[in-house]
Amino acid sequence: MKTFAYFDSGHEFPEEIVMAAGFDPCKILGDVEIGTGPADEYLHNYFCPFARACFTEALSRAGEWAGIGFAHGCDATNRHYDVWRAHIDKPFFWVNTPMKIDATARKFHLRELENFRAGLEREYGIEISDEKLAEAIRLSNRIKNGLKRLAALRAEHDINNLEYLELMNRALTGPRQELPEELERKLDEWQQRPPFPRALEAVLLTGSDVTSPEWMEALEEAGLRVVRDDLSLGERYFRAAIPEDIPPLKALVEYYGAYPQPATRVPSDRRLQYLETAAWENDIRLVISQNLKFCEPYAIDAVWTTGVLKNKGLKIIHLEREYTPTLDQQVITRLETFKEMALQ
- The residue ranges that bind other proteins (CB under 8 A) are 320, 328-330, 333-334, 336-337, 340-341, 344
Residues paired with 292 in a beta bridge: 321
**295 interacts with ligand SF4 by CB under 6 A:** yes
Give whichever of 160 and 232 is closer to ligand SF4, judged by the CB atom. Answer: 232
Binding mask 171-200 for ligand SF4 (x = CB under 6 A): ------------------------------
From the list ligand SF4, other proteins, none, partner contacted by residue 333 (C-beta under 5 to 8 A by kind): other proteins
What residue spans of the chain are helical by DSSP H? 15-20, 37-40, 49-61, 75-87, 103-124, 130-152, 161-173, 179-191, 213-221, 235-238, 248-258, 269-281, 296-311, 329-343
**208 interacts with ligand SF4 by CB under 6 A:** yes
HSE-up of residue 299 (Cα within 13 Å, Cβ side): 10
Contact 38, 61 (CB under 8 A): no
**74 interacts with ligand SF4 by CB under 6 A:** yes
From the list ligand SF4, other proteins, none, partner contacted by residue 295 (C-beta under 5 to 8 A by kind): ligand SF4
From the list ligand SF4, other proteins, none, partner contacted by residue 326 (C-beta under 5 to 8 A by kind): none
Give whichever of 7 and 323 is closer to other proteins, judged by the CB atom. Answer: 323
Specify the 3-state DSSP secondary structure of 195: strand
Query: How far apart (Å, rounded) are the C-alpha atoms in residues 88 and 60?
Result: 10
Residue from 20, 21, 26, 48 in contact with ligand SF4 (CB under 6 A): 48
Give least dist CB 274 to other proteins, A.
Answer: 25
CB atoms within 10 A of CB 305: 22
Give least dist CB 323 to ligand SF4, A.
Answer: 9
User: Phi then psi for 293, rounded to 5 degrees?
Assistant: -55, 135
Specify the 3-state DSSP secondary structure of 157: strand
Contact 16, 71 (CB under 8 A): no
Give least dist CB 195 to other proteins, A.
Answer: 26
Give whichever of 21 and 295 is closer to ligand SF4, judged by the CB atom. Answer: 295
Among the listed residues 295, 227, 268, 14, the one whose alpha carbon sits nearest the alpha carbon of residue 128: 14
Among the listed residues 198, 262, 196, 272, the one whose alpha carbon sits nearest the alpha carbon of residue 234: 262
Among the listed residues 154, 177, 187, the one whose alpha carbon sits nearest the alpha carbon of residue 19: 177
Give least dist CB 322 to other proteins, A.
Answer: 8
Give least dist CB 266 to ligand SF4, A.
Answer: 15
Query: How far apart (Å, rounded) are the C-alpha atoms in residues 276 and 270?
Result: 10
**212 interacts with ligand SF4 by CB under 6 A:** no
Count of all residues that appear for the chain in the document: 344
Give least dist CB 272 to other proteins, A.
Answer: 20
Give least dist CB 9 to ligand SF4, A.
Answer: 4
Among the listed residues 80, 84, 59, 66, the one whose alpha carbon sits nearest the alpha carbon of residue 5: 66
Give least dist CB 265 to other proteins, A.
Answer: 28
From the list ligand SF4, other proteins, none, partner contacted by residue 292 (C-beta under 5 to 8 A by kind): ligand SF4
Query: How far apart (Å, rounded) are the C-alpha atoms in residues 75 and 150?
Result: 32
Residue from 4, 6, 13, 50 in contact with ligand SF4 (CB under 6 A): 50
Span from 133-141, 218-226, 240-248, 296-304 in contact with ligand SF4 (CB under 6 A):
296-304
> Which stretches of the chain bind ligand SF4, using CB under 6 A?
9, 48, 50-51, 74, 76, 208-209, 292, 295-298
